[in-house]
Each structure stands twice: as structure tokens, then as C-alpha cells.
Structure 1
Amino acid sequence: MTRLPPVPYEEWDEEVLRPLTGGRKIPPSNALGLLLNHPRLAKAFLGFSTPLVYRGTLPARIRELAVLRVAWRRRCRYEWSHHALSARRAGVTDEELAGVRRGDPTLVTRAVDELEDTSTLSDPTYAELAALLDERQLMEFVFTVGAYAMQAMVYNAFGVEPDEGMDDGGMPAAPKATPHTKPGTGPHTNSGTSPHTAPVTIPGTTPDAPSDTAPGTTPDAANPAHP
């Protein structure tokens, strides 16, 4: 359930959205409608996220697989629904999408899980990434995981629903948060797990395994309304 109503489409400030749209007309988006409640924040954030995603050097397949792993771990239905489309356009197969949900130990999944669990990368995983990516791509990979983890937190906290007609892949709802009554206590304390990493089984999949765009491109014309 949406906690902060999105700004109505007819009231959107096109100048605020210009870092994403370049002045183009784009369809309604629950995420952008939420962001537009805070125009200065929206413009600053889009100025960061748009070049990272649409004018970066990280290969699109790797980027989308990383974003989807973040979305699945954090049970962010909005993020999954948009990036599953982008991933398919980047050549990601249905079996690979299922592997993201299962937690198959691919390099991308292992790297995302390490970043999410520990806020760093192990030496072996870093070495594998460095053998695949150049320095700028490696930086973009870590920034992408962090940026979409933040977005997942925002969309879940404010109850942003997938846009009309978007498929969330049968994702279960994010776990309900519980109040933290004392400093240093709560579901994230010394447990090694957190609500967004809890295994969940959906039809046709198995629970997650334990964790162990080229320059000059523009947002996907069929899916432009997600930062």
C-alpha cells in the first residue's frame, strides 16, 4: 500500500525530469511520481543515476543481472518488474532470471551478495571481477549495486507498486519491518542474515542458495520511466 501518494502525472515538472528524459515525453511511472514529491532531491538523484545506468561502460547484461539480484534479495517488486524487461532486451534468458531468484552462484550473484551482506568484496571475488571488467566498469558495478539497493529501500519503504501492466515475477511481498526498541538490537544484529535475504520459495523455483549500456546510450524507449 502506497504511503506517500505520487504526484499526479499532469502535474509533473518536466524540467526536474530532464536529466532522465532529455525533454522527451515519457509515460506515467509510480517511481517518478514518488520522487517528484521532492523536486530538488529528484533532480539531483536523476543527475547521478541516469549517467551511471544509461551512459556508463558496464555491459548491460552484467548491469541488469546485478540490479535484479538486488531487487530479488530486497523483495522490491517495482525494481524487479522494470529490470526484468531491460534484462531480456540485453539478452538475459528466462533460465538466467530463474537463476537470479534461486541464487545460483554466478560471479555477478556472488559479488552482489557479498556487497549486500558485508559492504565489501572478498579478495577472490574482486580478482574475478577485475579479470572481467576494467577499472571504470568495476567501479560502476559497485556503484550500481549500491544505487539500486538504495532505490529498493525507498520503493519498499514508501510502498511503491509496480506500474500498470508490469510483471513482478511472482515476487513475495517484502517482510514487514519490526520496530527497533534498543540500540544494537533488531533483525540485523549479529545474525548473519536480514529480512531481505530470507529464502522464499515461489512456484517453479527453489529457495536462494546461501551467499558465499555502452557510452552514449539513452534509456530504453520501451522502458524509460525508471531511474
Structure 2
Amino acid sequence: MRLPPLPADQWDEQVQRALSGLLPRDRQNPEGAGNALATLVRHPDLTKAYLSLGVHLLFRSTLPARVRELAILRVAHRRGCAYEWAHHVEMAGESGVSAADIAAARGGIPTDEFDRVIFDATDELDTTSNLSDSSWAALGAHLDERQCMDLVFTVGGYGMLAMAFNTFGVEVEQTER
């Protein structure tokens, strides 16, 4: 672990201002924050800036929750991000994603053609930072313009977050192992 979670006695007013209005109160403290947020708050201004995007991607996105979670799981798998994977496997299950579909995000064969479109688009974005016309059209057959935009930002945002978590050495909380 390169950057440990910020100790509770160092959660000051700057940290509280960074989190205020973006997260529920139960997450705005060292006990409820989890290792990822408690690590990110070492840089309060950056945390506030990223959380504005992250809150949109997770809670206000136009994507159906199932699509969002499949894309995030695919990113977590491709980036080898144990923290992202552990947290989003749970969220995916809560969003109605089956165990077989979660396994498909790790490289298995999806049972649904639209899932294949999501995985292929996620892979292409992660590899090339772009989508071919055919991939864009395949997405457009299932998603509207705003949903396509949210998918691109979800893949990019969670790719960036995986990079940060992996680099900082953010560990999955013991209770979730």
C-alpha cells in the first residue's frame, strides 16, 4: 500500500468540505468511508472534483444499472483492480446481474447479445480510447445518445479510478474478503 487511508484524527474541515453535499452523511467520516474514499481524501480538492463525476456515473447516469455495472466490472477485470471488482460485484448483484453474467465480465461468454455489445465496446474503448463506427452503431441500436455518452464516460472514469486504486495500493476492506 503506497497511500494508506487517511487516519481518523486527520479528517479536518477541508476533508469535510470536499465530501459535503456529494455523499450521504454516513460516508462522510473515516468509519463509513471505506478504504478508497479514505485514501482519496488525502487530496481533498482532487477528491471533490472526481466525486462530482463519480456521483453522476454511479447515481445519476442515464444508463440502466445493469449496463453500468457490466461495463464497470469489465473495466475492473481488464485493469486488474481488485477493489473496484469487489465493490461492483456486490452492486451488480443488487442490480439484477446474474452470477453467470458477472463471470462473463471476466472473459466468459455472455448469454445476451447486448451484453456482448457492452463488453466489446468497453474493450475497444479501453484499448483504443475510441469506438469504431460499427461499435457506435451497435450501441445505438440499444442505447440513446445520452446513454452512449454515459457509457463512454463510465468506461473512462472507472478506468482512471482503477489506475489510481492500483497505483495507490487501495486494499479491499477486510469485511468484504
| Greater than 6 Å deviation, 4+ residue runs | none
How far the C-alpha of 1:34 sits from its partner, in A, is 1.1
The higher relative CO (CA closer than 8 Å, separation ≥ 6) is in 1
Residue of structure 2 aligned with 1:111, choices 117, 121, 126: 121
CA deviation profile, 1:37-82 (whole Å, cap 9, x unmatched): 1111111111121122201211100000000000001110000000
How far the C-alpha of 1:118 sits from its partner, in A, is 1.0
Residue of structure 2 aligned with 1:128, choices 138, 145, 159: 138
How far the C-alpha of 1:11 sits from its partner, in A, is 3.7
Q: Is the 8 A contact 1:68 1:83 kept in 2?
A: yes
Residue of structure 2 aligned with 1:86, choices 84, 91, 116: 91
Distance verdict in 2 for CA 1:151–1:99, change over 3 Å: same
How far the C-alpha of 1:15 sits from its partner, in A, is 2.5
How far the C-alpha of 1:19 sits from its partner, in A, is 4.1
Partner of residue 137, structure 1: 147
Bigger Rg over Cα: 1
- Structure 2 CA distance, aligned partners of 1:10 and 1:79? 26
Q: TM-score, normalised by structure 1?
A: 0.69
- Structure 1 CA distance, aligned partners of 2:99 and 2:124? 24
How far the C-alpha of 1:9 sits from its partner, in A, is 3.5
Identity %: 49
Distance verdict in 2 for CA 1:65–1:19, change over 3 Å: farther
Which residue identity does 1:77 align to in structure 2? A
Aligned pairs for 1:29-40 (under 5 A) are 29-40=34-45
Which residue identity does 1:35 align to in structure 2? L
Residue of structure 2 aligned with 1:165, choices 156, 160, 175: 175
Residue of structure 1 aligned with 2:164, choices 154, 167, 188: 154
- Structure 1 CA distance, aligned partners of 2:139 and 2:20? 33
Q: Is the 8 A contact 1:19 1:47 kept in 2?
A: no
1:5 aligns with 2:10: no
- Structure 2 CA distance, aligned partners of 1:132 and 1:10? 49
Which residue identity does 2:47 align to in structure 1? A
CA deviation profile, 1:157-206 (whole Å, cap 9, x unmatched): 11110122224xxxxxxxxxxxxxxxxxxxxxxxxxxxxxxxxxxxxxxx
Distance verdict in 2 for CA 1:54–1:10, change over 3 Å: farther
Which residue identity does 1:18 align to in structure 2? S
Distance verdict in 2 for CA 1:9–1:94, change over 3 Å: farther
Aligned pairs for 1:146-225 (under 5 A) are 146-167=156-177
Q: Give the gaps of 5 or more residues in structure 1.
A: 168-227
Distance verdict in 2 for CA 1:9–1:81, change over 3 Å: farther
SS of residue matched to 1:133: coil
- Structure 2 CA distance, aligned partners of 1:139 and 1:37? 30
| Count of matched residue positions in the alignment of Structure 1 and Structure 2 | 165
Distance verdict in 2 for CA 1:28–1:53, change over 3 Å: closer
- Structure 2 CA distance, aligned partners of 1:134 and 1:18? 32
SS of residue matched to 1:21: coil
Which residue identity does 1:163 align to in structure 2? E
